[in-house]
Structure 1
Amino acid sequence: MSTSSAPVAPQPRGIDYSLPTCGETLCHGHGTCVPPSGGGTGLVCECALGYRGQFCEDTVNGALSVPLTVSVIAIILGVLILAFIVAKIRQRQKKSRRRQFATRQGYNIAV
């Protein structure tokens, strides 16, 4: 029984891009790892715009998200209600004008 094995290509050495980066693990994917400004052996997170904290775990606008969302929804609902009221008023005005016109013209129609 002979087994022939094909030569295996050598794996390239260097950076393995499939491994998570320091920024993805330590900085929760919202920053990059940099050496500390005062020197040292550890790495610190330099957070991307909109994030803060030791490990970039907090959002800058996180405290605003709920009130802002509620405000936008309230404004949209207010505009919709106002548009509905204006449409109803215009509908009544048109109906009133049609009645007046019909009476002036001598029509006997139910409007």
Structure 2
Amino acid sequence: CRHSQCHSHGACEAPSDGGDNLVCTCDLGYSGEFCETTVNGHLSTPLTISVIVVIVGLVILAFVFAKIRQRQKRNKRKQLAAQQGYNVSP
């Protein structure tokens, strides 16, 4: 049994019925005659897209939060300057 026969995702073993053909016993997460199929392969694309959407959403949320804080600080500085009698343009 060659190492590549089970795509490095399983072990070659003799069949339980005593036949001549070797059988792949797949590692967790792999299936198929030669362990060529990932069990979660159908989930990888939607999962990747979901993670990207969450990350982009968090970046947008952080940007909006930073802009709000920046505006609050600017308004506070203007109020302090006005209270101390500095000439403040709107």
Normalising by structure 1, we get a TM-score of 0.73
- Which residue does the alignment assign to 2:12? 33
Cα distance in 2 for partners of 1:57, 1:97 equals 63
Classify the secondary structure of the residue corresponding to 2:11: strand
- Which residue does the alignment assign to 1:53? 32
Cα distance in 2 for partners of 1:23, 1:70 equals 37
Residue identity in the other structure for 2:17: G
Label 1:23 to 1:30 Cα distance change in 2 as closer, same or farther (>3 A): farther
Q: Cα deviation per residue 1:38-72 (whole Å; 9 max; x = unaligned)?
A: 22121111111221011111011111111111111
Please identify, of 100-109 and 90-99, the stretch whose mean Cα deviation from structure 2 is larger.
100-109
Residue identity in the other structure for 1:42: N
Residue identity in the other structure for 1:85: V
Report the aligned-residue RMSD. 1.6
- Which residue does the alignment assign to 2:84? 105
Classify the secondary structure of the residue corresponding to 2:59: helix
Instruction: Return structure 1 stretches of 4+ with deviation > 6 angstroms.
Output: none
Cα distance in 1 for partners of 2:71, 2:62 equals 14
Unaligned runs of 5+ residues in structure 1 are: 1-21
- Which residue does the alignment assign to 2:69? 90
Aligned residues: 90
Larger radius of gyration: 1
Classify the secondary structure of the residue corresponding to 1:80: helix
Residue 26 of structure 1, CA deviation = 2.1
